[in-house]
């Protein structure tokens, strides 16, 4: 799973030293197998944002959360792409995808949860969910042909710009 290569059911079965039939007996599809295999592989939002735990600056916290997510996406790129593909072809499989981005966004914005109007906070979370994502990273690397570091920098810039724009003027 820690690879940029495509992840397939036959490959996973081979690596686990079981037959493909055995793998399918326990997991009806690749998405359910990956969901099980990836459980516990991602740190909690609190752990991911430990370096900014004492910061109340949502822009700084969103930057750290975004970079953290995207670096993990790159580490598990093959599995992440397979999960995205499964949810595109079977939208009901979306529940199998880890919702790490939402936990990171919520935790990053916690210091302003009481400052922002609830509707504005919800809108910012929705806006960030579009940007703080594997899909955004893959759009930049695959379609725009950016190197991974440049793509991460671009997504972090966009996420922090959205966050800054949503904050009340001081």
Cα separation values, 104 from 3, 31, 44, 48, 90, Å: 23, 22, 8, 8, 25
Q: Is 140 exposed, middle or buried (0-12, 13-18, 19+ CB in 10 A)?
A: buried
Residue by residue, pLDDT tens for the chain (170 residues) are: 555 567 777 777 777 777 878 877 877 777 777 777 777 777 889 999 999 999 999 999 999 999 999 999 999 898 888 888 877 777 766 665 557 899 999 999 999 999 999 999 999 999 999 999 999 999 999 999 999 999 999 999 999 999 999 998 76
**What is the model's pTM?**
0.83
Token pair 């906070």 in the structure block, residue: 121
> C-alpha distances in angstroms, 109 versus 42, 72, 114, 118?
20, 20, 10, 12
């Amino acid at each position: 799973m820690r690879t940029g290569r495509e992840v397939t059911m036959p490959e996973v079965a081979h690596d686990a030293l079981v037959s493909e039939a055995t793998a399918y007996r326990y997991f009806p599809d690749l998405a359910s197998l990956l969901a099980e295999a990836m459980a516990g592989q991602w740190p909690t939002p609190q752990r991911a944002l430990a370096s900014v735990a004492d910061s109340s600056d949502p822009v700084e916290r969103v930057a750290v959360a975004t970079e953290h997510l995207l670096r993990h996406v790159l580490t598990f790129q093959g599995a992440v792409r397979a999960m995205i593909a499964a949810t595109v072809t079977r939208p009901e499989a979306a529940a199998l995808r880890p919702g790490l981005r939402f936990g990171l966004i919520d935790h990053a914005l916690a210091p302003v949860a009481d400052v922002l109007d609830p509707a504005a906070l919800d809108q910012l979370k929705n806006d960030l969910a579009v940007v703080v994502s594997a899909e955004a990273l893959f759009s930049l690397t695959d379609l725009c042909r950016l190197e991974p570091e440049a793509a991460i920098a671009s997504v972090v810039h966009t996420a922090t710009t959205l966050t800054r724009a949503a904050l009340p003027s001081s």
